[in-house]
Amino acid sequence: MRSLTSKYLNKLKDSKLAYDAVYIFNDGESGFDGSINPDNALIETMRELKTPLLFFGRPAEPFFSALNAVAEHGDFSPNDSETRTFLHTVPVADSFDPQTLAGLLKKRKAVYIKDRGIVTSAPYGAEQGYIYFCSVCFSGFVKFFSDAGEKALLKQPYNRELVSRLIKQYTEFMPKIQAPDLMTEIMSSDESIISAMAQAGRATVDMGLVDSFFGNISCLYNDRIFISRTGSSLDELENETDICPVDESSCQGLTASSELATHKKIYEQTDSRVILHAHPRFSVIMSMMCAEDCANRGRCHYACDRERFLGDVPIVPGEVGNGKRAMVNTVPDAVQRHGSAIVYGHGVFTVSASDFNDAFRKLVATETRALRLYHHLTCQPDADEIAFFDSF
């Protein structure tokens, strides 16, 4: 457990999500691994929980300001898919009070402490603390910008100055988003398929188009679907790929991505041979932008019956899984008609016929458009600000 803490602290720094973070151990000897000294209250919290490992980190900007803004109103529950299925609600604490933090962490995966940072319990290891931290950053970011965007749509007041400042910080935070030169002619062997998937996964993470543990990648080759495993890190797919026969003659798919059924149906309905699914932040946010006051309001993620688009990419409802409200019933038809699709509050599916290059270009184009449209909606950018977007 201790040996992996440096790996995940470095991942946070490399992704620029946090520069100040620490793991706190309780294994008979107190031990810390990180760039800050933990507050004594966190050590007491860990002992109160009787957990072997606690993680605390201060998010980098613009996530820190976004989280502080949504935390002003207490606990928050964005309507994006990651939060609904993984975190549910992010509780907010006013201070480092051990009793309060321990009580909240017994019920939830992580707690946001106003003006301080995120604390998570990680009884199963350093990776767990890292995932929870990333999820809270994503959740607070989506909540802040979704709320502001909806108010802009409804012509209601919002903090335009803060939105503009955080978007500017975000454009400085993000690496330059561009389509990389990925492997071609990948359909030659199992090894080449897995190498191509690993390369595309790393590129998706490196460019900030997905947090490493969310999203999935697949390839159809010789009547088998090569797909990233559920819970796998997209920048470490070399040994995290399952091979599932399309005739379901093997049980290897038991550990495959929960969206295997959606991938399989896309392959059945199209000539695609690769699928790239990511959760780029502003594609998720813009998919949730709607000023309609209809009977399905509040149930948009599974019951929206309106035809909606982000540019030429359709936005469809659909839940994770294989039930009657699942995305397996909506995404394949949309991809068949338009070549890609966005699932409400969830992310983007793009496809290619031969390798990951075209799928990656579609993903970049979709997120770029989403960021442009959100910027126009909320900030009325001047020429200097819009120059960032024109660089793509």
Let me know if residue 20 belongs to a domain.
Answer: yes
Q: Which domain holds residue 128?
A: 2-172
Nearest-Å Rg of the Cα atoms of the chain is 21
Same domain, 78 and 222: no
Cβ neighbours around 363 below 10 Å, total: 30
Q: Which of 283-287, 288-292, 311-315, 330-334 has the lowest mean pLDDT?
A: 288-292
pLDDT value at position 382? 46
Domain end marker among 145, 172, 199: 172
Q: Does residue 369 lie within any of the structural domains?
A: yes
Is the Cβ–Cβ distance between 90 and 109 less than 8 Å? no
Angle between helices 40-49 and 98-105 (to 10 degrees): 40
pLDDT digits (tens, 9 = 90+) for 238-297: 989 999 999 877 655 555 667 899 999 999 999 999 999 999 999 999 999 887 777 767
With 0.85 as the threshold, say if the pTM is over it.
yes
Region 225-243: what's the mean pLDDT?
91
Average pLDDT rounded to a whole number, residues 101-126: 94
How many domains does the structure of the chain reveal?
Answer: 2
Tokens coding 32: 């810390």
What distance separates the 2 farthest-apart alpha carbons in the chain?
60
pLDDT of residue 164: 95
Q: Report pLDDT digits (tens) over 127-144.
A: 999 999 999 999 999 999
pLDDT-based confidence at residue 173 (cuts at 50, 70, 90): confident
Lowest-confidence region among 84-98, 193-207, 330-344: 84-98
| Per-residue CA distances from 267 to 73, 188, 225, 330, 349 (Å) | 45, 19, 9, 14, 13
Answer yes or no: do 136 and 222 share one domain.
no
Please check whether residues 212 and 141 belong to one and the same domain: no
**Chosen domain end from 172, 202, 234:** 172
Q: Give the range among 72-86, 106-120, 336-350 with minimum mean pLDDT.
A: 72-86
Contact 344, 320 (CB under 8 A): no
CA nearest neighbour of 18 among 114, 162, 134, 119: 134
Percent residues over pLDDT 90 in the chain: 65
Note whether 282 and 363 are within 8 A (CB): no
Strand order in the sheet with 18-26: 30-34, 18-26, 53-59, 117-121, 110-113, 92-93
Are 119 and 81 contained in the same domain? yes
Higher per-residue confidence, 28 vs 100: 100
CATH number at residue 26: 3.40.225.10
